[in-house]
Chains A and B, each alone.
Chain A
Amino acid sequence: MHERKSETTLLEHGSANALSWIIADGVIELALHREPCNELGSSSLEEFEKFATALQLMQAEAHALIIYSEMKAGFCAGADLRELYQRSRTMEKSEASKGVRDFLERIHRVFNLIDAAPLTTIAAVHGVTFGGGFELALACDLIIADKMARFCFPELRLGLIPGFGGIPRLKRDLGNAVVRDLLLTGRSFNATKAQQIGLASQVVSEGEALRSARATAAQLGKFDHATAAAAKKFIKPIPLEELRREIDLFCELFARPAVEVGLRKFVESTDAQPYLP
């Protein structure tokens, strides 16, 4: 017991290049701070895996987790497409495909842990919440959105689908017609729309998402921890089978030449709306 306690004490905070976390008063706060907008690449994933390990140790002593961004541009712009493009260019096709599958398996493990964590998870989002960033928010129980937040699944422009669990989680939370609209048009939409379709639980003024998330977390602390965890487990199934199929479909699509063309177009784009085809 004593050994576990000291281990937990060591994990009360952690800090690296892409993210850092702290636990205080039963609330874990995970801050994302990789320039320019928390793009998720291999180094970020390693840090997320460390956080996931720490989360499993901290969660017995916490009732809430808040994930937020310290970057002005937004919550998270999604996968690091420049890294993906570089790797797809420099590696053998089979090696690149294997690398992509490995990356997806690992990020799914992290997001599944956050999704199923026995505490209430809150994504406090602002600005760009695109692709993998949107998928990270969807793994959380509640989304509290700054009114300048903007959501989007732009993956189809690359000849891909969202690969970090986005479609199964969106489908779990919303009607299929809404999912099709967001996925197939690839359009971005604002926080008001996110609240209208049942995605965001609260829309707050500019710069207020983290404060509101903290107030919500404080309220959650008044409930019995075990009851809240049981209620969450009852109401929020993890769509494991669909998540597995999503990885397979993503890898199947990734093997096509259209993806490299799409990635190159994005990386080389100077367009004001590079997330649109």
Chain B
Amino acid sequence: MPTAEETLDEILKLAAAHFKVPTEKLHPDEDFFKTLGINSLQTLDLLTKLENHFRVELPDYELQGVSDFRTLAGKIQARL
């Protein structure tokens, strides 16, 4: 099983590739809605990407209010 830091790193890489931004532009504790400027449909896309990549199921209500990559990584890590 990957460590929490490895999971976080993977998420940052995935998000950067998916939204076509440099990885260094994304920071673990920043609000990714603001950084990426994503809307609700793009949020769903990201959720599906993460579920497919990590082979987990993330009920979206558990992600309500989650807006930074570190907290998101914690939610995924809990299901690995």
A133 to B1, CA, bound (A): 37
Q: Is B3 an interface residue (CB 8 A)?
A: no
Contact of A273 with B57 in the complex, beta carbons under 8 Å: no
Interface residue tally of chain B, by bracket? 10 to 19
* Segment from A5-13, A26-34, A135-143, A181-189 that makes contact with B: A181-189
Q: Which B residues are in CB contact (< 8 Å) with A150? A: 44, 47-48
Q: Which A residues are in CB contact (< 8 Å) with B43? A: 272-273
Among the listed B41, B52, B64, which residue makes an inter-chain contact with A190, where contact means beta carbons less than 8 Å apart? B52
Contact of A273 with B64 in the complex, beta carbons under 8 Å: yes
Contact of B48 with A187 in the complex, beta carbons under 8 Å: no
A147 to B59, CA, bound (A): 17
**Distance (Å) between the CB of A2 and the closest chain B CB?**
49
From 35 to 73 in chain B, residues with beta carbon under 8 angstroms from any chain A beta carbon are 38-41, 43-45, 47-49, 51-52, 57, 59-61, 63-64
A274 to B49, CA, bound (A): 19
A221 to B51, CA, bound (A): 36
**Distance (Å) between the CB of A273 and the closest chain B CB?**
6
Q: Is A163 an interface residue (CB 8 A)?
A: no
- With contact pairs A147-B52, A190-B51, A190-B52 given, residues A272 and B40 touching in the complex (Cβ less than 8 Å): yes
Q: Is A276 an interface residue (CB 8 A)?
A: yes
A192 to B47, CA, bound (A): 13
Q: How many A-B residue pairs have CB under 8 A?
A: 51
> What secondary structure prevails in chain B residues at the interface with A?
helix
Contact of A272 with B61 in the complex, beta carbons under 8 Å: no
- With contact pairs A190-B51, A272-B39 given, residues A128 and B61 touching in the complex (Cβ less than 8 Å): no
Among the listed B45, B57, B60, which residue makes an inter-chain contact with A276, where contact means beta carbons less than 8 Å apart? B60
Among the listed A74, A128, A148, A276, which residue makes an inter-chain contact with B64, where contact means beta carbons less than 8 Å apart? A276
Contact of A187 with B59 in the complex, beta carbons under 8 Å: yes
Q: Which A residues are in CB contact (< 8 Å) with B19? A: none
Contact of A273 with B60 in the complex, beta carbons under 8 Å: yes
**Distance (Å) between the CB of A199 and the closest chain B CB?**
14
A190 to B61, CA, bound (A): 14
Contact of A272 with B38 in the complex, beta carbons under 8 Å: yes
Contact of B52 with A188 in the complex, beta carbons under 8 Å: no
Contact of B41 with A275 in the complex, beta carbons under 8 Å: no
A275 to B39, CA, bound (A): 12
CB closest residue in chain A, given B62: A187
Interface core residue of B40, B49, B63, B64 (most chain A CB under 10 Å): B40
**Distance (Å) between the CB of B39 and the closest chain A CB?**
7
Q: Which A residues are in CB contact (< 8 Å) with B39? A: 272
Q: Which A residues are in CB contact (< 8 Å) with B44? A: 127-128, 150, 188
Q: List the 3 closest A-B pairs by CB distance, nearest first.
A: A272-B43, A187-B59, A73-B41
Give me 6 other A-B pairs in contact (C-beta within 8 A), A74-B41, A273-B60 excluded.
A127-B44, A128-B44, A147-B48, A148-B49, A149-B48, A150-B48
Residues of B within 8 A of A (CB): 33, 38-41, 43-45, 47-49, 51-52, 57, 59-61, 63-64
